[in-house]
Structure 1
Amino acid sequence: MTDKVRIDTLSADSLPQSNDTYLTRQAQFESNVRSYPRKLPLAIAKALGVWITDVENNQYLDCLAGAGTLALGHNHPDVLESIQRVITSGLPLHTLDLTTPLKDAFSAYLLSLLPGQGREYCLQFTGPSGADAVEAALKLAKKVTGRSGIISFSGGYHGMTHGALSVTGNLSPKEAVSNMMPEVQFLPYPHEYRCPLGIGGEAGVKALTYYFDNLINDVESGVRKPAAVILEAVQGEGGVNPAPAEWLQRIRKVTQENGILLIIDEVQAGFARTGKLFAFEHAGIEPDIIVMSKAVGGGLPLAVLGIKKQFDVWSPGHHTGTFRGNQLAMATGLTTLKILKEEGIADQVAAKGEWLKGKLKDLQKRFPVIGHVRGLGLMIGIEIVKPNEAQDHMGCYPADGELSALLQKKCFEAGLILERGGRNGCVLRLLPSLLITREELEIFLDKFENALLSAGVKPV
């Protein structure tokens, strides 16, 4: 049958040369749950570095990079070579939790990157996604403490499995899903532009810091002492909101004093993305459990917990997962981690991020629909607003999710791929390869400005 095409016969010449053909077939094959093709309507033929080419030979600058998974960009030669070495080595492709020389080397190197070179930590390999690792972290915290409550934060994103969704802030995917995990208490997360307490600035951060401390220590708070607090040091899907260091430091102090485990979700922000190897390093704290996925596997599925050894109370087999022994991902992960560390990528990312934010703030002066530019390293958010409407009492304009969606569309038409997030999707998010060059960032700026003009946004 003509529909039976062997993978080794696929070439640019043998494939249909229409994005629409593939998208139509995808709609026939796949569930309504698919999301990215609705916003980014292309069929990818090949990719290299920060560039994607579709089946119609259109090129796109990719500032999504697998939602931050591809730290080194597409098809980095060293990553591809690491895959080829595994394929020719005779290793099985996955090993459950049996060890191999490759797994040993990966484990040792990953541990060496954790606080204190990992001396106080051990690793737990979970199922292959970040949500799998979050589920394991929540279960372990309950097992350690004998308590069942979890504190999470508005705007946080931790995954779509049952427990992970329960501690995720976004209400939309929770619709019609009853019996979420009980005893999850949400608290407000600091927001640089839209303070949830309506105060703003340093006063708002201090109030939120006090609020958390008081909630835990007030015997009349109505909230039982939780097993764990889970948070992102920089919220990603929630709109690229970096946590103030003072706030994180107080959370760490209060949780330690009260025997509450602190789980930091570094799935998107980890591994040099924010200009530090881990986002929590900006506050100088040490979590009890570190959730790692995305970049840790070098582009292939892998999820790992870093657990303080005194909290490793698992009994053998009490949390398992078939695909926790992905040897290819450990090879690509080890290669990626070595490049990030040995080539000082975090410092380069910090410098590029500050430069890019400065350029975006210059653009903001000419295009006031850019209400706020924020983020750390190459994890940057651009909040789109309605500058012709009234400001609130903190000087913030109303969010404009419709224009943000239009801008994403116009960016795509200009050959630029980026994502949206935040409340009502009003934040355009940048998560490019950490190896993106200054010249490629200049191309991004040109394409983004052209998208603004194409969307009918007039400069001032």
Structure 2
Amino acid sequence: MSLAAVPAQAPSGARTPSGAPGAAGAPVAGEAVLRRQRIRESGARTYARSFPIVPVRANGMTVEGADGRRYLDCLSGAGTLALGHNHPVVLEAIRRTLDSGAPLHLLDLATAEKDDFTTALFESLPGEFAARARVHFCGPAGTDAVEAALKLMQTATGRSGALAFTGAYHGMTAGALALTGNVAVKEPLPSGGEVVRLPYPYAYRCPFGVGGDAGADLAATYVERLLDDPSGGVVAAAAMILEAVQGEGGVVPAPDGWLREMRRITAERGIPLIVDEVQTGVGRTGAMWAVEHSGIVPDAMVLSKAIGGSLPLAVVVYREDYDGWRPGAHTGTFRGNTLAMAAGAATLRYVAAHGLVERAATVGDRMAARLRDLAAELPVIGDVRGRGLMLGVELVDPAAEPDACGARPADPALAVRVREACLERGLIVELGGRHDAVLRLLPPLTITDEQAAAVFDRLADAIDAAARDAG
């Protein structure tokens, strides 16, 4: 395996962007910024703990810190930056909007920018879905769009409960948190309503202990039998919500056949199906929208992250049949982010016009194949999975006994060491999964072949080094 490149350093005596000396070991303004952050910001901060750097400029996939070190960013704002940092088409859209004198904030009034974004969005959606769709602009975070989708279906059906899945992540507000699977983030809070938790097909750690297609078939059968059991304890639900690829849950793709079964099961029982495409949308999985892999047509799609072109924007798009809301049923001050709409429309059109969906599929397949080859060399890699440029590498304890499916126990401590080793080598990679032992790769869709090779080299070297240190 090739040795990873060392992150670039500022030349001796050079000045960093912060104006502080950049010589090795010399104090820089970034250290003071980090110290003030630790003192001033809340204990809930997350990424800042994993990546103690102060970014001062960024371009494409490259982030430069205050100390002059450069990093390849495989986090991309948790999937927000479809085109990477400061893409020219995004900057041009923002500058054009600013120079036009357009209002930057108008609640939910009609503007030319909103009309153009809505047009670009509907053009990007699956045709059968878009033909009968309406869109609601929400507060600027995906979690608010999840709340809106749930309220929409509660209004339409007159029911209150929901069906959600193990491993799910839908946001941090009360309703979205109730739908989320992670127990740790929910324990201090009261229940957010009746949510029935269903098994999500996870081949490597199959909830039924069989794995593969058989595990997915069992998961679908379980759902159907439970919903039809008059003593199963499931009250008629307002909606089912799922991710076509679980992100925070460990980059777990749902089999296309299972998704089609969920669509059939919900349609036959009059249960609206909501698909959360907050992280999977805008080409991330090698399709413009992840539902396109399976061909299902949901009743609602929750969209955020990449649709704003790096700026805050969230919407819920849904079948017009469900539009039973009264005026003001779901509002929010920051629904009218003009700059995000302009940047988002430019991003959607650029992704479509420049073949970035196909590019994500091709590069993602190539990276996944190399990672699987690496797994044959490094037994600490238990599983490689994902879709397009949404990839996960699950790290395990190779000395432990495997379970019935051949999976060994997750090794979160090793994952932390690998993340740190990646950062030392100039690579930003975050963790996820049930035990925080999955290395998550979310590079921008604009990643070059050279960058993809560098990501692999740095990651491979980091895993190898961390595993040897552990041994």
**TM-score, scaled to structure 1:** 0.95
2:167 is matched with which residue? Answer: 155
1:358 is matched with which residue? Answer: 369
Residue number among 14, 18, 41 corresponding to 1:12 in the alignment = 18
Distance in 1 (CA, whole Å) between partners of 2:389 and 2:126 is: 22
Residue number among 64, 82, 87 corresponding to 1:76 in the alignment = 87
1:332 is matched with which residue? Answer: 343
Distance in 2 (CA, whole Å) between partners of 1:14 and 1:207 is: 60
Deviations along 1:247-300, one digit per CA (max 9) or x if unpaired, are 111110111111111000000011100000111111110110100000000000
Contact kept, 8 Å, 1:44 with 1:52, in 2: the verdict is: yes
Distance in 2 (CA, whole Å) between partners of 1:87 and 1:12 is: 27
Q: 1:211 deviation in Å?
A: 0.7
The more displaced of 22-31 and 72-81 is: 22-31
1:5 is matched with which residue? Answer: none
Residue number among 460, 463, 468 corresponding to 1:457 in the alignment = 468
Q: 1:459 deviation in Å?
A: 12
Contact kept, 8 Å, 1:96 with 1:325, in 2: the verdict is: yes
**One-letter amino acid of the counterpart of residue 144, structure 1:** A
Contact kept, 8 Å, 1:190 with 1:196, in 2: the verdict is: yes
Residue number among 132, 135, 159 corresponding to 2:144 in the alignment = 132
2:117 is matched with which residue? Answer: 106
Matching of residue 399 in structure 1 with residue 410 in structure 2: yes
1:4 is matched with which residue? Answer: none
Alignment of 1:42-441 (within 5 A): 42-116=53-127, 118-178=130-190, 180-441=191-452
Contact kept, 8 Å, 2:145 with 2:302, in 1: the verdict is: yes
Q: 1:115 deviation in Å?
A: 2.1
**One-letter amino acid of the counterpart of residue 36, structure 1:** Y
Q: 1:458 deviation in Å?
A: 8.2
Contact kept, 8 Å, 2:380 with 2:467, in 1: the verdict is: no
Contact kept, 8 Å, 1:350 with 1:376, in 2: the verdict is: yes
1:26 is matched with which residue? Answer: 37
**One-letter amino acid of the counterpart of residue 417, structure 1:** I
Q: 1:11 deviation in Å?
A: 5.2
Contact kept, 8 Å, 2:286 with 2:358, in 1: the verdict is: yes
Distance in 2 (CA, whole Å) between partners of 1:300 and 1:14 is: 30
RMSD (Å) for aligned C-alpha atoms: 1.6
Distance in 2 (CA, whole Å) between partners of 1:38 and 1:19 is: 15
Q: 1:84 deviation in Å?
A: 0.5
**One-letter amino acid of the counterpart of residue 13, structure 1:** G
Contact kept, 8 Å, 2:203 with 2:215, in 1: the verdict is: no
Distance in 2 (CA, whole Å) between partners of 1:42 and 1:71 is: 22
Distance in 2 (CA, whole Å) between partners of 1:458 and 1:67 is: 29
SS in 2 for 1:306: strand
- Unaligned 5+ segments in structure 1 are 1-9
Distance in 2 (CA, whole Å) between partners of 1:120 and 1:19 is: 51
The more displaced of 24-33 and 11-20 is: 11-20
**One-letter amino acid of the counterpart of residue 55, structure 1:** A
Aligned length: 450
Distance in 2 (CA, whole Å) between partners of 1:199 and 1:297 is: 40
Distance in 1 (CA, whole Å) between partners of 2:452 and 2:411 is: 25
Q: 1:456 deviation in Å?
A: 4.0
**One-letter amino acid of the counterpart of residue 122, structure 1:** R
SS in 2 for 1:424: coil
Q: 1:124 deviation in Å?
A: 0.5
SS in 1 for 2:205: coil
SS in 2 for 1:52: strand
SS in 1 for 2:386: strand
Contact kept, 8 Å, 2:17 with 2:66, in 1: the verdict is: no
Contact kept, 8 Å, 2:71 with 2:426, in 1: the verdict is: yes
Contact kept, 8 Å, 1:159 with 1:168, in 2: the verdict is: yes
Contact kept, 8 Å, 1:61 with 1:417, in 2: the verdict is: yes
- Unaligned 5+ segments in structure 2 are 1-15, 22-26
**One-letter amino acid of the counterpart of residue 454, structure 2:** I
Distance in 1 (CA, whole Å) between partners of 2:17 and 2:463 is: 36
Distance in 2 (CA, whole Å) between partners of 1:388 and 1:402 is: 15
